[in-house]
Amino acid sequence: MLEVTPFGEGWVLEYEGRELPAAVPGCVHTDLLAAGVIPDPFLGRNETGAAWVGRREWTYTTELSAANGQERTDLVFDGLDTAAEITLDGRLLGRTRNMHRSYRFPVTGSAGRLAVRFASAYSEAEAVRDRLGERPAAYAEPYQYLRKMACSFGWDWGPTLVTAGIWRPVRLEHWSTARISRVRPLVTVHQGAGVVELRVEVERSDAAARLIVEARVGGQVARTRLTGSAGAVRLRVPDVRLWWPRGYGEQPLYDVELTLSSEEVPLDVWRRRVGFRTVELDRRPDAHGTGFTLVVNGERLFARGVNWIPDDVFPSRVTRERYRERLGQAAAANVDLVRVWGGGIYESEDFYDACDDLGLLVWQDFPFACAAYPEEQPLRGEVEAEARENVVRLMPHPSLVLWNGNNENLWGFRDWDWERRLAGESWGEGYYLGLLPRVVAELDPTRPYTAGSPWSGSWDRHPNDPAHGTHHSWEVWNREDYAAYRSEVPRFVAEFGWQAPPAYATLRRALPAEELAPDSPGMLHHQKADDGNGKLERGLARHFAVPAGDFDRWHYLTQVNQARAVAAGIEHWRAHWPVCAGTVVWQLNDCWPVTSWAAVDGDGREKPLYHELKRLYADRLLTLHVRSGKLVLAAVNQSADAWSGSVTLRRMTVDGQVLGGASMALEVAARAVTDLVVPPELRPDGPKEFLVADAWGGLRALHFPVPDREIPYVRPEFDVAMAPGAVTVTARTLVRDLLLQADRLDPAARADRGLVTLLPGERVTIGVTGWRTPDPSAARRALYCMEPDPMDRTEPA
């Protein structure tokens, strides 16, 4: 039987004539950090001082003894980052140049000094660029010339920390006669039965051996004899339970086991979990353009999505528990789709296992982002090899529902002056429209493929045409106010977002000695977007009186503005289902402490946006918006049950007077939207008035006809009471966008809700965990809300 020996212990990193202890999996930066050679690059401006690490060669060594009673021994690396030479006592085992692949080297009977020498990723990438010619990109770093995590080279939310190292596990595999080299599971549903077809490939040491494969799933068993080195076994599971996205049903998973034997002696075994479901991508043309609607088990979905970037710039530090925590945060925010963005990696099995369990659909980009990628060798062969390996590796996961060729490269070719600059040179089109769809069609025909995001489906249209396919909405934030979201209804919004700084405690940890200001040195260093602070300031000024010299107030308002911006988009687009069939917020997470578009910051703390997503992505949503000159209440019902009830409307003034009201019947079919026109006499008129719409279950929508800077807010007055694990606020006036910043109470503290608006006499109880020394005065100081002008927070209401 195949034996596996983990091989992560005993490695050292050579540095300046010393041997530093090395963690495998790991990388050079984390080893240098552990040894005290470099300070934490996440703190202050230490990132700059670590730039030298990516510019030199590094060597890992250990002692290898491959002695074992079996016929063969293989040394298997699940991931090497990136350009490496592997030697055993000076004998070359092989060279690698792709972070996204695994590698296997025969070492039967060998012993001696094993060395893995990594070239500088810069040197390797620059050598390829010199051979193939320069290609345009969104950033100056040479990430498109090397099959490596692009955001290692920095991004508009990430540090430039160019890694090297043995970043995924290493093992020795000992085997005799034959081993399973690849299993490709095709999982489908036919007439209520689950069908699993396992395409098996083996490697033999005995060409004459009689090999049998036996498969088991759902109580069913099938056997077949292998002729040569490949074969297939098919099983049918009657009355199968379907796997559903979260919110649509349960996520049953079935254990699949495939055993390779010779003369009834087991040689190797392959085990995975699968889920039975169907997935389609409806891209049919209609009266509105060309659709982009995911259909799972025949159910058409509005995708409630978030974009995912690597959760750490050093991915080897992301544990199974950390994946579970972060993806659990997504699920708790009513997210049902996670897009694995193309400037990162194919994530580990732990990521996809968690998505399988949580019912999170996965949209998987191939790793190409924001650059023209050469199609010549050596890159073309590496791209095909990595695509083939990872398509097969990820096939068992029912959560994976879509393969996407690239991020923004088709758009870049058309709009970012690439076509002129390339002058006919290759740039990746052959990958996205040729190689990758062929690989997916050959290996994984059970899932759809799309050439890119954004992509309108044809060069006859603009790649980012909102009426066709996927759309990225970046005029908002970069140039326009978020009110512009309401000017169009894209078919599927795959990227949009607004920045805000991280939680206060995250900033304090990252910038421990700094007097915080929007433009203080550390804050500027942890703002990577082009003119990021300028865009934050302009975005604030459209809605608020920008506080001068009051960092705490600025911090609160920028976080409110982020939540308001994303809400403006999602409310509008959900109200136009089924024309719009999904929103994917940029972004869920961060890879370090930074001002960014994330809902969960680099220390794992939730911003107000995170809690707002819970409301925006709930099955039922109320939203008020102006359409064709009329004020309309849209009732969005994404649940499987019809929604019957009533909605109460109140026209009010900011000082608490009720000017009028009405009750309207509400009837919304399952998976549908109903629009109700607000009676003209209830439409708020002028800066002092607003409209409140309330429905059963705590659903509420608010409509203020002017920006906050024009609203004559009264001074907020409220009472604060405390109980174990809870802070209760009772409003005596209008209290708009009340926020308890729990991390100001204790870095470990968390609140269970974000922004909430209270009318006079209303109360809210905020659950708080992790607060070690509760103090009513501290709770009051940590409460923020809209005020008539910037005020001294030392004497709150």
* Catalytic residue ranges: 408
563 contact partners, CB below 8 Å, separation of at least 6 = 500, 607, 608, 609, 611, 612, 754, 755
Residue with tokens 């890992």: 60
- Give the whole-angstrom CA distance, residue 298 versus residue 313: 38
Contact (Cβ atoms closer than 8 angstroms) between residue 357 and residue 349: no
H runs (alpha helix) in 116-199: 121-132
DSSP state of 710: G
DSSP result, 382-417: HHHHHHHHHHHHHTT-TTEEEEE--BSHHHHHHHSS
CA distances from 322 to 499, 589, 770 (A): 24, 12, 18
Cα within 13 Å of Cα(456), Cβ side: 16
Residue with tokens 């809210």: 764
Q: At what angle do helices 551-574 and 608-616 cross, to 10 degrees?
A: 20
The amino acid occupying position 559 is Q
Residue with tokens 């091989």: 7
Q: What are phi and psi of 439, to 5 degrees?
A: -65, -45
Distance of CA 568 to the CA centre of its chain: 21
Q: What is the largest CA-CA distance in the chain?
A: 90
Mode of pairing for the β-strands spanning 400-404 and 449-450: parallel
Nearest to 194 by CA among 234, 256, 240: 240
Q: At what angle do helices 349-358 and 320-332 cross, to 10 degrees?
A: 30
Contact (Cβ atoms closer than 8 angstroms) between residue 544 and residue 709: yes
Residue with tokens 């001068």: 548
Q: Report the 10 Å Cβ neighbour count for 621.
A: 21
Q: Report the 10 Å Cβ neighbour count for 716.
A: 22
Residue with tokens 């043995």: 166
- Give the whole-angstrom CA distance, residue 757 versus residue 760: 10
DSSP state of 45: T
Structure tokens at 74: 């293989």
Mode of pairing for the β-strands spanning 285-286 and 289-290: antiparallel
Mode of pairing for the β-strands spanning 111-118 and 58-65: antiparallel
DSSP state of 322: H
The amino acid occupying position 541 is A
Burial 207-224 (b: 16+ CB within 10 A, else e): eebebbbbbbbbebebeb
Nearest to 78 by CA among 399, 406, 390: 390
Residue with tokens 């079996």: 70
Structure tokens at 656: 């608490």
Q: At what angle do helices 532-541 and 551-574 cross, to 10 degrees?
A: 80
Contact (Cβ atoms closer than 8 angstroms) between residue 7 and residue 65: no
Contact (Cβ atoms closer than 8 angstroms) between residue 570 and residue 634: no
Mode of pairing for the β-strands spanning 689-695 and 726-731: unpaired
- Give the whole-angstrom CA distance, residue 709 versus residue 789: 9
